[in-house]
Structure 1
């Protein structure tokens, strides 16, 4: 909207302009993936996709989706087993890039941890396991439908209650509303073959998750991370969908190797798709220096120059336009990419003033 307003305005001082509009930034960046060399004539790009006024971004992480698939066979549930549903809820969740360093619980991993620790002693047999909704969101909820001997129901309730106490002790400073409970469930008609169930639980528990490495170059910024985002169960397979992020390609490749190794050890398959590059910070960026000086002249303070552990389209723009000088800034937006998304109206005016001033101050190219 800001870009279109600039084009429509008759009273803004600026040089030659072109506006790049993309689709699907929230879900897959398919528009940015489609950009080709030779389409754009400019050599400076002002990306209007940042979410905190007073911050300007000069780099971001790249990423890739990883999917571990565990093939499963089914068998009839023995008549002496009863059904139950294990549920983990109440976690904060959050963005798998911006919030990955906060130590928030991952519901998928927490459920896998319990199953790995207690499935054998309780005689649990899995019918299905489900968790998370988006690969780029830390999962808040997960559940498993199981069958087990009726005589072990009380023990299951006791262990699950104890597990909540343990998680409260471990994560209580971050997660204040952890809720673990067991629902009554009809006996499932079929369960996973025991060997396949064991492979699935092992691969879920062993899968790395969270911050893998902090950046050596940029203090306080995550370099590489992994989010075990979504688990889905179908008739003949269970899929664990992860999102790897890294500021450097070698970091991403390293975690790809981790996932492949875990999958191979469990007799599962692992595939990667949707890779997008990071945006490497350029300390000599002329547009960044111009923005900093302009902002300082306007407000008497220096903006926070940032690198974000999340995907911005700038990383994709750099591929066909490697020499383009870029930055990203914008108004304050809360709860982005969610039904609760909202913008701070006061900061929209500040953002507009900054855009107008930057366009005016970009020197004529000779």
Structure 2
């Protein structure tokens, strides 16, 4: 049996999940079955970023039951080791690497607690999707492939290690915390890429930027009505992989609306909330405000005009933006005029999206900025952005632009969590091996790529500077959004390539 716990009934977070609720049959019967059974089990155990403990504990128990060596390091990463199959003991040691956590995103009408409720995957034609939430194929498919190899008795491989890191999506805490001495491998295969037929040999670095706009509140006009304007219907997506597609950013669009109409309709802001993750393009945002009752009709017209304008502008990239106005309970305080103007001007002027395309790698974004999360607190409005760049100077340029912008606005900014990019190595032996193996299997050459996203490989180079690395994976669309889906056929293609590479790993020098 593949799993140590009963798949028919799993108790987590004081809730019991039945087979019927999980719709396990269709997913677990896909091929390669061992991989899909593991992915089905991963979906059943909640594991959003910073809440991976239940899944980690389950994997550890399974590994020990299989009599595999398993270690949890100081930060919570798992390292599982498996001896070589007979006759392959002298091959170079390989580590298969994936991250345990997933991005928790859901549609606004979906009731789902990512810390308690399982992901419900289903087959839709050629794809596997989830019911109103992110699927977690990023990086659950990669994790499932590594665990399937560990659990197999008939896959030939040399000495094998599996590294499962925590918190990749929310700060790369696991990769930052990985120390020398845990891994013996000379080769690392990262499984976090999202396009079959592409081999990744480099990635962007990044840094978080948090802008704090101090709040000065004042009493509202007693005659004013209070409304909430919600913007929804955008596609969102991964703020690295999808940033070049020109999709709408809900935070930026509402800031633009306010810049155009706030003064004309005498809006007094009480709240600005948008996005939920700094590494996901915001799909939804809302503002709350008071305004004179006599201006409501004018505002409704302005909303219709703006919605029509944006739908026309984004007719190809993001055509379904929706603005909805609703009256709410009267507010007790509003932002002062100066505070509101600073916030609107700052958000409207803040860069967003692609800053520069790469000159070295055609079609790849070099530097980008995502205005990811806005939250209104008692003392401030907090704006969380993620800067990505393939080169340090590109990241530093955007840092300087944001610093200048906040200096002009008279507000503060703090940069944190900087992580390095993964510098491409054209002479990488493992990259050459994967490329040749792919060509042999599929009779076509794969595309060698650099990805505008934060793979953990750059951070692994600090404790393991001599490790040779490559990244592969199946085709995943719209990661970091509820539209996330994985192409079933490519999962088998990716797994076939992975097993063939493991069989071809050369002997130790």
Instruction: Indicate whether the TM-score tops 0.5.
Output: yes
- Identify which range, 291-300 or 174-183, moves more after superposition: 174-183
- Identify which range, 192-201 or 347-356, moves more after superposition: 347-356
1:298 correspondence with 2:438: no
Please report how far the alpha carbon of residue 87 of structure 1 lies from its aligned counterpart in structure 2 after TM superposition. Answer: 2.0
The SS at the match of 1:205 is helix
Please report how far the alpha carbon of residue 340 of structure 1 lies from its aligned counterpart in structure 2 after TM superposition. Answer: 6.0
Cα 1:162/1:18, change in 2 over 3 Å: same
Residue by residue, what CA displacement relative to the aligned partner does 1:100-152 show, whole Å, maximum 9, x if unpaired? 11111111111111111221222111111111111111111111111112222
1:276 counterpart residue number: 419
Please report how far the alpha carbon of residue 365 of structure 1 lies from its aligned counterpart in structure 2 after TM superposition. Answer: 2.6
The separation in 1 between residues aligned to 2:372 and 2:241, in whole angstroms, is: 14
Please report how far the alpha carbon of residue 255 of structure 1 lies from its aligned counterpart in structure 2 after TM superposition. Answer: 0.8
The separation in 1 between residues aligned to 2:147 and 2:329, in whole angstroms, is: 57
Please report how far the alpha carbon of residue 163 of structure 1 lies from its aligned counterpart in structure 2 after TM superposition. Answer: 1.1
1:205 counterpart residue number: 348
Please report how far the alpha carbon of residue 74 of structure 1 lies from its aligned counterpart in structure 2 after TM superposition. Answer: 1.2
CA contact 2:307–2:322 (8 Å) conserved in 1: yes
Please report how far the alpha carbon of residue 270 of structure 1 lies from its aligned counterpart in structure 2 after TM superposition. Answer: 0.5
Cα 1:338/1:118, change in 2 over 3 Å: closer
The SS at the match of 2:383 is strand
Residue by residue, what CA displacement relative to the aligned partner does 1:309-356 show, whole Å, maximum 9, x if unpaired? 111111211222233211011233444455665544443333332222
The separation in 2 between residues aligned to 1:175 and 1:339, in whole angstroms, is: 15
The separation in 2 between residues aligned to 1:279 and 1:318, in whole angstroms, is: 8
Cα 1:81/1:313, change in 2 over 3 Å: same
1:347 counterpart residue number: 490
1:113 correspondence with 2:113: no
1:49 counterpart residue number: 192
Please report how far the alpha carbon of residue 269 of structure 1 lies from its aligned counterpart in structure 2 after TM superposition. Answer: 0.7
The separation in 1 between residues aligned to 2:240 and 2:358, in whole angstroms, is: 14
Please report how far the alpha carbon of residue 54 of structure 1 lies from its aligned counterpart in structure 2 after TM superposition. Answer: 1.8
The separation in 2 between residues aligned to 1:341 and 1:23, in whole angstroms, is: 21
The SS at the match of 1:83 is strand
1:179 correspondence with 2:322: yes
Please report how far the alpha carbon of residue 246 of structure 1 lies from its aligned counterpart in structure 2 after TM superposition. Answer: 0.6
The separation in 2 between residues aligned to 1:102 and 1:126, in whole angstroms, is: 31
CA contact 1:331–1:350 (8 Å) conserved in 2: yes
Please report how far the alpha carbon of residue 19 of structure 1 lies from its aligned counterpart in structure 2 after TM superposition. Answer: 2.5
The SS at the match of 2:259 is helix
The separation in 1 between residues aligned to 2:150 and 2:228, in whole angstroms, is: 56
CA contact 1:97–1:310 (8 Å) conserved in 2: yes
- TM-score, reference length from structure 2: 0.69
- Identify which range, 228-237 or 353-362, moves more after superposition: 353-362
Q: Give the number of equivalent residue pairs.
A: 366
1:59 correspondence with 2:202: yes
1:88 counterpart residue number: 231
Residue by residue, what CA displacement relative to the aligned partner does 1:144-203 show, whole Å, maximum 9, x if unpaired? 111112222122112221111221222212222121232123331110111111111111
1:164 correspondence with 2:164: no
| Gaps in structure 1 of 5+ consecutive residues | none
Compute the RMSD of aligned alpha carbons: 1.8
| Gaps in structure 2 of 5+ consecutive residues | 1-143
The SS at the match of 1:19 is strand
1:230 counterpart residue number: 373
The separation in 2 between residues aligned to 1:156 and 1:288, in whole angstroms, is: 57
1:242 counterpart residue number: 385
The separation in 1 between residues aligned to 2:347 and 2:370, in whole angstroms, is: 12
Please report how far the alpha carbon of residue 99 of structure 1 lies from its aligned counterpart in structure 2 after TM superposition. Answer: 0.8
1:322 counterpart residue number: 465
1:132 counterpart residue number: 275
CA contact 1:74–1:236 (8 Å) conserved in 2: no
The SS at the match of 1:175 is coil
- Greater RCO, CA 8 A, separation 6+: 1
1:3 correspondence with 2:3: no
Aligned partner (choices 136, 159, 166) of residue 16 of structure 1: 159
The SS at the match of 2:362 is coil
Residue by residue, what CA displacement relative to the aligned partner does 1:288-320 show, whole Å, maximum 9, x if unpaired? 111111111111111122211111111211222
Cα 1:8/1:119, change in 2 over 3 Å: closer
- TM-score, reference length from structure 1: 0.94
Cα 1:242/1:303, change in 2 over 3 Å: same
Residue by residue, what CA displacement relative to the aligned partner does 1:1-28 show, whole Å, maximum 9, x if unpaired? 3334434444444333332221222333
